[in-house]
Amino acid sequence: MAYYGSLSARGSMTPEMSKVLPLVSDRTPARHLNRSLDLGQSKAYYNPASKSVYNRYSVGDWGYSNNTHYNLSEKERAHGERLRADAWRAIKETDARTRNRQNDVTKRLGDRVYDIAYMKGELNTEINQMATEIENLKEYRRTLEKALGDTANPLHVAEECLMHREKRRGIDLVNDNVEKSLIKEVEIIKKCQNKMQHCLQKAMAQLKVDRAAQHSLEVDSKDKHHAQGLDDRMQQLRNSSGGIGYFPSIENVDNTITIPESWGRYTQENIARSQKERASSERLRGEIDALLRACASEMWNIYNNVNTCFNTRIHETTNARNTLQAHLQRTMQEIFDMERNIQQLRKAIQDKENPMKVAQTRLDERTRRINVEVCHDPVMKSLKNEVGEIRDSITMLKRSLKASEISLARLLKTKAVLEHDIGVKENSLKLDSKSCMGMRKGFPMDPKVGPIFQMVPGSY
C-alpha cells in the first residue's frame, strides 16, 4: 500500500506526487481513522518450554484488528474512486475552457489585425497626400529663393552708391535728395527682402512641420505594419506550430502603454495634424505668390524715382584730403621712431638675461655648501639684492615695452584710420559722376520678364 508507504518508498515518488499524497508515519489504524480503537490488552502467559512469561493478545483482538484493516482498505478505495472521477471531470472542463479561450483569443487577434490594416490604410493615404503637398511647397520655396537672390543685384547697386557717399566723413556726408532717395530705395529693397526671408522662413518652418507630420505618420504606419505582421503570425499560431515554448511569468509582464481608445485616438490625431498642416501649406503658397508680385512692383517704381533725383556732388573733399595726408606723414614718422624704441627696449631686456643667469647660478651653487659653511654672508645678501635689482629692471623695461607696443598699435590704428579717410575722400571726388551713375544706367533686373514674375505653374 503506497498510500501508507514508508519514507523510503515515498522518496521514490516524483516531487509532484510527493506533494499530493499525505505522509503517514504512524500506521496504527486507530490514529489514521481519527478514532480510538480498543484492541484489548495483552495478557501474560507462562511458557513451560522456555520457562518464561510472555505477553499475548487474545483471538478476539486478532480478528478485530483484521476487520479494521479490511474496512480501512474499502474506505480508501472508495476515496480514490471519487478522486479519479473528480479529476476526469476537471480534465474535461479545463480542456473545453482552454479551447474556448484560445479560439476567442484567435478571433480577437483577427479583429485586431483588421483594425490595424484599416488604420494603416488611412495613414498611407494621408502620407501620399502630404508628400505631394511637400513637393509643391518645395517648388514654391525654390521660386521664392530665386526671387530673393534676384533682389541682391539692385540692392548691391543702391548700397554701392550709398557706400561711396557714406565713405565721405564730416562735410562730405550731405543729406541731399539723392541720399534720401537712395536710402529709401535700400529700405524698400530690404523690406521686400525681409518679407521674402520671413516668408521663406515660414516656408522652411512649414516644410519642417510637414515633414514632422509626415514622419509621425510614417512611424505610426511602420509600427502598425510591424504590429499587423506580428498579430497575423500570432493568429496563425496553433498548438502544433513550431517555435512555441514556455515563458515563465510572462503573464505578469505588462509593457503596454496605450488602451484601444488612446491607440485609435493617437492615429486620428496624427492624421488630423497632417491635414491641418497641409491646409496651412496651401495657404502659404498663396501668400508667396502675392508677395512676389507686390515686391516686384515696388522695386521698379523706386528705382525710377532714384534715377530722376540723382545729382552730382564732388567738390568739397580736396582740402580735407590734403590735411589728412600731412597728418599721415607725421604719424608714419612717429611709427618709425616707436618701432626703433621698441627694438631698443627688447635688446635691453635681452641684455639682462646673462647677468640674471650669472647671479642665479652663483646662488644655486652656494646652496651646495655644507655644514657650518652654509652662512648667510654679505655675498649671499649681495647676490639676492642683485637678482632683485635685475628683476626690477626687467619689470620696468617690460612695462615700458608694453606701453610702447600699445602706443605703436594705436599709431598703426590711427594710420589705418587716416588711410581709410583719405580713401574715402578720394572716392568721394569721383562718386556721383563715375561710380554711381555708371552703375545705374540700366535696371539690374528686367521687371517685365524677370524671374520674380515666373511663378510656379498650377493653382494653390
Q: What is the pLDDT of residues 3-53, one digit of tens each?
A: 334 434 444 444 444 444 444 444 444 444 444 445 556 666 666 766 676
Phi, psi of 118 (to 5 degrees): -65, -50
Q: What is the pLDDT of residue 206?
A: 92
State how far the Cα of 92 lies from the Cα of 391, in Å rounded to an integer.
Answer: 107
Yes or no: say if 280 and 133 are a contact pair by the CB < 8 Å rule. Answer: no
State how far the Cα of 190 lies from the Cα of 152, in Å rounded to an integer.
Answer: 9
Q: What is the pLDDT of residue 131?
A: 93
pLDDT more than 90, % of the chain: 19
Mean pLDDT of the residues in the chain: 79
Q: What is the pLDDT of residue 232?
A: 85
Yes or no: say if 453 and 296 are a contact pair by the CB < 8 Å rule. Answer: yes
**First vs last Cα of the chain: how many Å apart?**
94
DSSP-based three-state secondary structure for 55? strand
Whether 84 has a pLDDT exceeding 80, the answer reads: yes
Q: What is the DSSP letter of 209?
A: H
Composition of the chain by helix, strand, coil, percent to 5: 75, 0, 20
Q: Where are the alpha helices (DSSP H) in 151-166?
A: 152-166
Residues in the chain: 460
Whether the full predicted model's pTM is greater than 0.85, yes or no, is: no
Nearest Cα residue to 150 out of 455, 456, 458, 447: 447
Q: What is the pLDDT of residues 377-417, one digit of tens each?
A: 787 778 778 778 888 888 888 888 888 889 889 989 988 88
Torsion of CA 259, 264, 265, 268, to 10 degrees: 160
Compute the average pLDDT of residues 411-429.
Answer: 81
Helix pair 152-166, 378-429: axis angle to 10 deg: 110
Distance of CA 98 to the CA centre of its chain: 48
Yes or no: say if 394 and 356 are a contact pair by the CB < 8 Å rule. Answer: yes
Q: What is the pLDDT of residue 170?
A: 59
Name 221's Cβ contacts closer than 8 Å, sequence gap at least 6: 120, 123, 124, 127
Give me 258's grid cell: 496605450
Q: What is the pLDDT of residues 165-209, one digit of tens each?
A: 776 655 567 787 878 888 999 999 989 999 999 999 999 999 999
State how far the Cα of 173 lies from the Cα of 170, in Å rounded to an integer.
Answer: 6
- If phi over 0 gives left and psi between -120 and 50 gives alpha, with beta otherwise, what is residue 401? alpha
Q: What is the DSSP letter of 26?
A: -
Helix pair 378-429, 353-366: axis angle to 10 deg: 150
Whether 346 has a pLDDT exceeding 80, the answer reads: yes
Q: What is the pLDDT of residue 141?
A: 92
440-459: b or e for each residue (b if 16 or more CB lie within 10 Å)? beebbbeeeebebeebbeee
Q: What is the pLDDT of residues 123-180, one digit of tens each?
A: 999 999 999 999 999 999 999 999 888 888 888 888 888 877 776 655 567 787 878 8
